[in-house]
């Protein structure tokens, strides 16, 4: 009888403990909840731009007054030397890299990660495919600064395709910091907090790879959300988004841009500000 009573008590206690454990597991910390894919519901505006779920964000997703789409590529003004490229994300699926090469594209950036909860399911085909066809390629990270620290997201990025190697064909990973498709434009951060977040990401990325991360942004967002900070213009290459006939006024006191995203038609198109030897120098570090 004692054995039966003991067994019954143990089962009851086990059920109670299991119930408590389940409740604790379901009651995730605020940080965990904020970083989960389920916590990211695209705004109505983001849905209009093809962002249906967490992870769908991509470079230049919001075309606003500072990024009016251009119908055609701007003319190259002599004697400036440039190299044409593209950037891609999961929206493009499996890319025909031979066709892109034949169209004159010589470099590509591929979305690797978003926040600390998403990796691009097409990353291998896009990242390796561009490399195999002869392009110089790199990876980029779509930042969600309200989810976790800059160090946390830089670490996640490096661990999921955002690393760098001195093979002459790999560009340093880029930080895509722009409009929030899941809520408040500046992710609920003050300008000083945003600058601190970017610095945390940049410092961590450099500690892990030895490279200064290029920063992709645009004048409007950078002015609104960092107070047009000049904290990075001597260390981090600028990748400016401006869908027009010229890059226009640069954000953050940068004296020049390194890459210019000038159109999203028929795919995100980019222009490196220099000739192939300078692009290779950026890859080599």
Known catalytic residue at 178: yes
The answer to whether the Cα torsion of 268, 47, 91, 183 is positive or negative is positive
Contact 154, 177 (CB under 8 A): no
Known catalytic residue at 176: yes
**Of residues 56, 114, 147, 178, which has the active-site annotation?**
178
**Of residues 87, 114, 147, 220, which has the active-site annotation?**
87
Q: What secondary structure letter does DSSP report for 54? A: T
Compute the distance between CA of residue 173 and CA of residue 141 in angstroms, rounded to an integer. Answer: 8
Known catalytic residue at 268: no
Contact 20, 26 (CB under 8 A): no
**Of residues 147, 176, 220, 270, which has the active-site annotation?**
176
The answer to whether the Cα torsion of 122, 123, 125, 126 is positive or negative is positive
Which residues, including other chains, have CB under 8 Å from residue 75's CB and lie 6 or more apart? 245
Distance of CA 141 to the CA centre of its chain: 2
- Residues with a catalytic annotation lie at 87, 176, 178
């Amino acid at each position: 009888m004692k054995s039966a009573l003991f067994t019954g008590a143990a089962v009851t206690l086990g059920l109670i403990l299991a119930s408590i454990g389940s409740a604790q597991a379901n009651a995730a910390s605020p940080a965990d909840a904020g970083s989960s894919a389920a916590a990211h519901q695209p705004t109505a505006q983001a849905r209009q731009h093809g962002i249906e779920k967490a992870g769908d964000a991509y470079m230049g997703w919001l075309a606003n007054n500072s990024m009016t789409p251009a119908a055609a590529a701007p003319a190259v003004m002599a004697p400036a030397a440039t190299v044409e490229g593209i950037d891609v994300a999961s929206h493009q699926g499996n890319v025909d890299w031979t066709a892109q090469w034949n169209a004159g594209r010589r470099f590509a950036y591929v979305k690797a990660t978003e926040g600390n909860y998403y990796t691009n399911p097409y990353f291998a085909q896009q990242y390796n495919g561009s490399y195999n066809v002869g392009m110089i390629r790199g990876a980029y990270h779509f930042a969600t600064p309200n989810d976790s620290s800059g160090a946390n997201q830089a670490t996640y990025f490096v661990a999921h395709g955002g690393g760098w190697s001195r093979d002459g064909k790999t560009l340093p990973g880029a930080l895509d910091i722009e409009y929030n498709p899941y809520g408040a434009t500046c992710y609920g951060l003050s300008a000083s907090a945003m600058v601190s977040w970017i610095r945390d990401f940049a410092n961590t990325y450099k500690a892990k790879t030895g490279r200064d991360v290029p920063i992709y942004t645009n004048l409007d967002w950078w002015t609104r959300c960092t107070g047009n900070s000049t904290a990075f213009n001597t260390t981090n290459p600028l990748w400016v988004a401006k869908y027009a006939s010229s890059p226009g006024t640069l954000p953050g006191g940068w004296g020049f841009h390194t890459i210019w995203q000038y159109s999203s038609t028929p795919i995100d198109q980019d222009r490196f500000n220099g000739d192939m030897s300078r692009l290779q120098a950026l890859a080599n570090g």
